[in-house]
A and B are shown apart, each in its own frame.
Chain A
Amino acid sequence: MRTHNSLINRLVQSDRGGAVLLVLLAISMVLVPLLNLAVPESSALHLSTYTMTLLGKYLTFALLALALDLVWGYCGILSLGHGAFFALGGYAMGMYLMRQIGERGVYGNAELPDFMVFLNWQELPWYWFGFDQFWFAMLMVVLVPGVLAFVFGWLAFRSRVTGVYLSIMTQALTFALMLAFFRNEMGFGGNNGLTDFKDILGFDLQSDTTRAGLFVASAVALALGYLASRFVVNSKFGRVIVALRDAESRARFIGYKVEMYKVWLFVFSAMLAGIAGALYVPQVGIINPGEFSPLNSIELVIWVAVGGRGTLYGAVLGALLVNYAKTYLTGAFPEIWLFALGALFVLVTILLPRGMIGLLRRKQTEASA
């Protein structure tokens, strides 16, 4: 039997970018918590909790970008609504965290979250049941985005909706969800969303150790998500989705049920996005309908385009680079960020059709030539 190690070996074989990514993640899993917890604050090497949480947030974005790259880069499904799956995963986590608050809320109601007391609700809506259990909430983190993706994909792909029309539909999906979640009657905190979280699995969310734990969890999730995605694209399934990206009717003619391949890829991708959202929420401490905003999903597309689609690690690189730039620019020159983002997209589309990774590869071939 093959050991775990050789499975990873096989997966990253001839995938140098992936190997680099996994090594960096492994290092950061150890180094980042160490620099934060073990190095005293007075030391120049100390990493602030703020920075650690920021890095953790980037990693969840990277996982989200990975999810989009699977459907867009490999199967040509340009989803402009992937933020919806991210937000749904986030809401599932948020509901668990809300229930953990218990009596410590402003109104001290053990059963009902504050916003429900405020709305004069007498009892918990049925769809909140079970969210006091961590395992149930985690199940919902993957199940809710997964089921939505299945239903949406089933309807769209079976009707052979492709290209721009599909993109518009995904955009409409996330927009509709945003409007729905803004409504107080939906029971998800309306405009304010879910916030004021206290602890997760009994650990104080404000403490450095919990933050470090969340960072490590994000890094682990990204590494596992990467390996799972690599497994998918390296399999025959992966070759079929690439084949149908460019010659769908030919793939159908050979005997592949193209729509089922697309549906299941979409479902898998949505689940990854859901996990990313679930790790994002405890680190930023809030989830609100703004996460469904179409703009978020479009930004996500830019991350993947900047990094280079169809490589997986390119999406991770793009998410990290663009978000770092965003943090820097929104701090230093807040008024130009959106222009910079727009310019970035235009420039990448014109000059770097394969993104940063494409640029690196070109440099490499030039160097070796």
Chain B
Amino acid sequence: MSSETNLPHDIPGANFSSAPQSRVADPEVLDTTHGPILYLEGVTVSFDGFKALNNLSLYIDDGELRCIIGANGAGKTTMMDVITGKTRPDSGSVYFGQTINLLELSETDIAQRGIGRKFQKPTVFEPLSVFQNLELAMAADKRVWTSLFAKLTGAQRDRIDEVLTIIGLTAERHRRAGQLSHGQKQWLEIGMLLMQNPRVLLVDEPVAGMTAQEVERTAELLQSLGGRHSVVVVEHDMEFVRSIANIVTVLHEGSVLAEGSMSKVQNDPRVIEVYLGE
């Protein structure tokens, strides 16, 4: 089932340096030589005649931090579902790099190949400590027997420490996850995603329900991930989007309405009409 040996992980990018040399396209290896890491082309999804996605085309560059905004029903969540394999489109193509066809892979396979998704409601393992949560999420052999005798190596400890620093929970490492604040749980969950060394992080409404300080902290966190990971953020909170985004994509009725810098998008009359309206 799981071809964990092919996992594109450890130091992001390190496994792929040899890929461009080979002329033969190897569908097992992530190829981002042309820039984008995610290709969605002409994707259409309809539910009972209602087109949740309508001929959507979208490209996410390797290492980019992209915000996706749009009104309710614009297709944001459906788009995430398509990328993670939860929903199969009626037509169109979805590629991870230039060679990996995501429409042929199961949800687990997609997750293992390095597309991580953070859901709206944080689910961390509450009885376990922050450290243990990260340990369990770590990309590793997850079979029963290995788990029984598993010991953390120095490198794995370092990796957990590193992620603890990134998500700013070093001081909370021994606290039970159930005792964390809502915002801390969200960061822990982002940390758990990072432990799986994803190339692409899909983050669904990360700042819903957060305090102003937590929002600020989350913005810093997501920005710090750019470069090493491609991050796609779906968010309603315009202030937040303004504070982190380089490029914003506005979805409307299942397709891209506008794309560009925040200021460009904000001044687009069509966007003002259908969404921003402020």
* B50 is an interface residue with CB less than 8 A from chain A: no
Are the C-beta atoms of A236 and B108 separated by less than 8 Å?
A: no
Question: In whole angstroms, how far apart are the Cα atoms of A260 and B144 in the complex?
Answer: 7
Pairs across A and B, CB under 8 Å, 23 listed = A232-B148, A235-B147, A235-B149, A235-B150, A236-B135, A237-B147, A237-B148, A237-B150, A239-B135, A240-B136, A242-B125, A246-B125, A246-B126, A250-B125, A251-B125, A254-B142, A255-B108, A256-B142, A257-B143, A257-B144, A260-B143, A260-B144, A261-B147
Which A residues touch B125, using CB under 8 A? 242-243, 246-247, 250-251
* A253 is an interface residue with CB less than 8 A from chain B: yes
With an 8 Å Cβ cutoff, the count of chain A residues facing the other chain is 21
Question: In whole angstroms, how far apart are the Cα atoms of A236 and B151 in the complex?
Answer: 8
With an 8 Å Cβ cutoff, the count of chain B residues facing the other chain is 23
The CB with the most chain A CB atoms within 10 A, among B123, B135, B136, is that of B136
Interface residues of B in 131-162 (CB under 8 A from A): 132, 135-137, 142-144, 147-150
Quick one: which of B124, B127, B150, B192 contacts A236, CB cutoff 8 A? Answer: B150
Are the C-beta atoms of A255 and B111 separated by less than 8 Å?
A: yes
Quick one: which of A237, A254, A260 contacts B137, CB cutoff 8 A? Answer: A254
* A128 is an interface residue with CB less than 8 A from chain B: no
Are the C-beta atoms of A255 and B128 separated by less than 8 Å?
A: no
Q: Is the interface of A mostly helix, strand, loop or mixed?
A: helix
Chain B: residues with CB nearer than 8 A to chain A? 2, 108, 111-112, 123-128, 132, 135-137, 142-144, 147-150, 192, 196
Closest to A244 in B: B125
* A152 is an interface residue with CB less than 8 A from chain B: no
Q: Taking A251-B136, A255-B112, A256-B136 as given, write out 18 further A-B residue pairs in contact, using a Cβ cutoff of 8 Å, ordered by the A residue number.
A: A237-B147, A239-B135, A240-B136, A240-B147, A242-B128, A243-B128, A243-B136, A246-B126, A246-B127, A247-B124, A250-B125, A254-B137, A255-B108, A255-B142, A257-B143, A260-B143, A260-B144, A264-B144
Which B residues touch A261, using CB under 8 A? 144, 147
Which B residues touch A257, using CB under 8 A? 142-144
Interface residues of A in 232-277 (CB under 8 A from B): 232, 235-237, 239-240, 242-243, 245-247, 250-251, 253-257, 260-261, 264
Are the C-beta atoms of A236 and B148 separated by less than 8 Å?
A: yes
Are the C-beta atoms of A235 and B148 separated by less than 8 Å?
A: yes
Quick one: which of A240, A242, A250, A255 contacts B123, CB cutoff 8 A? Answer: A250
Which A residues touch B132, using CB under 8 A? 239
Question: In whole angstroms, how far apart are the Cα atoms of A254 and B128 in the complex?
Answer: 15
Question: In whole angstroms, how far apart are the Cα atoms of A260 and B142 in the complex?
Answer: 11
Quick one: which of A232, A251, A253, A264 contacts B111, CB cutoff 8 A? Answer: A253
Closest to A247 in B: B123
The 4 closest A-B pairs by CB, nearest first: A243-B125, A237-B147, A236-B150, A237-B148
Which A residues touch B108, using CB under 8 A? 255
Are the C-beta atoms of B2 and A255 separated by less than 8 Å?
A: yes
State the Cβ distance, B107 to closest chain A Cβ, in Å.
Answer: 8
